[in-house]
Amino acid sequence: MCGVRIGSLCTPRIDEYDCSTMGVYMKLTRKAFLKSGAALAAGAVVAGTAQPAHAQAKKKFALAWTIYVGWMPWPWAAENGIVKKWADKYGIEIDVVEVNDYSTSINQYTAGAFDALTITNMDTLAVPAVGGVDSTSIITGDYSNGNDAVILKGKTKFADIKGQNVNIVQYSVSQYLLDRGLQLHGMTERDVKIVNTSDADMAAAFLTPDVTAVVTWNPIVEQIDADPGAHNVFNSSAIPGEILDLVIVNTKTLEANPDFAKALCGIWYETLGIMLGDTPAAKTAQTEMGKLSGTDYAGFASQLATTHLFSNPAGAAAFTKGSQLIATMDHVRQFLFAWGMMGQGATSPDVVGIEFPGGHVLGDAKNVTFRFNADYMAMAAAKTL
């Protein structure tokens, strides 16, 4: 993925989009954003812009995405008129905007530049939720089933990671995966040294002599795995259902503009219906998505094989309503708290509330800033969008 740009994409790019509301926060890396407590400051800044006490209805929205197999349906849908079709149905406009760096996309959403974002469950809790930006997950898109991986150079066993420097996007799902791998192999993060590295630089870094261990996600995993010295020693298939890919929407914006969520779900499930079928159109779609992400049909298909897409909206809604999600989010919040990622001054993982369908809340019910909503997926299943 290193350096991949989508020059032919007809949707706006981040450098073409008006991000004037972001202030200084657009310049922060995710590490700095968390460690400096800027997430909390951004919550105060955004209170007057991105999520006012009573958001108003509006007609133009923006969703930010970054390159990842489970998110490539978005730019493809934009290129093929599906985004416009559903936006027109509800009398709105939707910009689908690529951001080159995943961490940057999270900070920009948190600072109010976007209405919606493709993001993992862990990162939603760690940045916007901790930063006071109330967000609702409206699409449980997939879970990583091998797309996130620990890769060693010249070593074939996970145990060989002990004592090594590990290049990783610090405080991301990569660190969560590494932590889980270390737990399952009787080690802790004290047994390695983390080297914070941008996802955009990861593949190039692996080619340098000094880098011997990386933790990253597809399509970077696929690119690095092609190196003869690379060995995939642990991946997310060992922890199924824990690394979830979502579409989140600013809650105040959602409450004032439910048609935006309906359009997003309509776009998503129409696109999945095309790309996952056993038809020539499906192969064409996957080929084009692969090209957009810097690979080909075979490469994209191999990434799909390690992604559990919730292709059926009824199944996605059921998973979102199920007890497994509550258990997973409890595990995630405990991890975040243990590593100081629940905000400055947090005395327990209960500092932030996470609400699930049916009203169950983990954490502080008076400070809910992360919500899972299955309603729009259920509408898609019932064909009532």
Domains 14-143+243-382 and 148-238 share a fold: yes
Specify the pairing of strand 60-65 against strand 193-196.
Answer: unpaired
Distance of CA 381 to the CA centre of its chain: 23
Report how far residue 294's alpha carbon sits from residue 300's, in angstroms, rounded to the nearest whole number.
9
CB under 8 Å to 204, separation ≥6 — which residues? 2, 3
**Over the stretch 304-339, which tens digit does the pLDDT of each residue have?**
999 999 999 999 999 999 999 999 999 899 999 988
Helix (H) / strand (E) element for 246: namely strand 244-250
Helix (H) / strand (E) element for 168: namely strand 165-168
**Over the stretch 164-193, which tens digit does the pLDDT of each residue have?**
999 999 888 899 999 999 999 999 999 999
14-143+243-382, what's its fold? Answer: D-Maltodextrin-Binding Protein; domain 2 (3.40.190)
Q: Which residues of 299-338 are buried (b: 16+ CB within 10 A; e: fewer)?
A: bbebbbebbbbbebbeebbbbbbeeebbebbeebbebbbe
Which of 1, 4, 80 lies closest to 285 in space, CA to CA? 80
What pLDDT band is residue 45 in, cutting at 50, 70 and 90?
very low
Q: In this structure, is the dihedral angle defined by the CA atoms of residues 171, 293, 9 and 270, taken in order, positive or negative? A: negative
**Hey, how many other C-beta atoms are within 10 angstroms of the C-beta on 3?**
10
Specify the pairing of strand 135-144 against strand 244-250.
Answer: antiparallel
Residue with tokens 């004290």: 190
Helix (H) / strand (E) element for 234: namely strand 230-235
Distance of CA 96 to the CA centre of its chain: 15
Q: What is the pLDDT of residue 54?
A: 60
| 3 state SS of 351 | helix
Domains of the chain by residue range: 14-143+243-382, 148-238
Which of 21, 120, 20 lies closest to 65 in space, CA to CA? 120
Helix (H) / strand (E) element for 222: namely helix 220-225
Helix (H) / strand (E) element for 76: namely helix 73-79
**Over the stretch 53-90, which tens digit does the pLDDT of each residue have?**
566 789 999 999 999 899 999 999 999 999 999 999 99
**Hey, how many other C-beta atoms are within 10 angstroms of the C-beta on 162?**
11
Strand partners, 353: 368
CB 155 within 8 A of CB 231: yes
Report the CATH number of the 148-238 domain: 3.40.190.10
Question: Is the per-residue pLDDT at 1 higher than 60?
Answer: no
| 3 state SS of 99 | coil
Q: What is the pLDDT of residue 209?
A: 96
Question: Is the per-residue pLDDT at 299 higher than 50?
Answer: yes
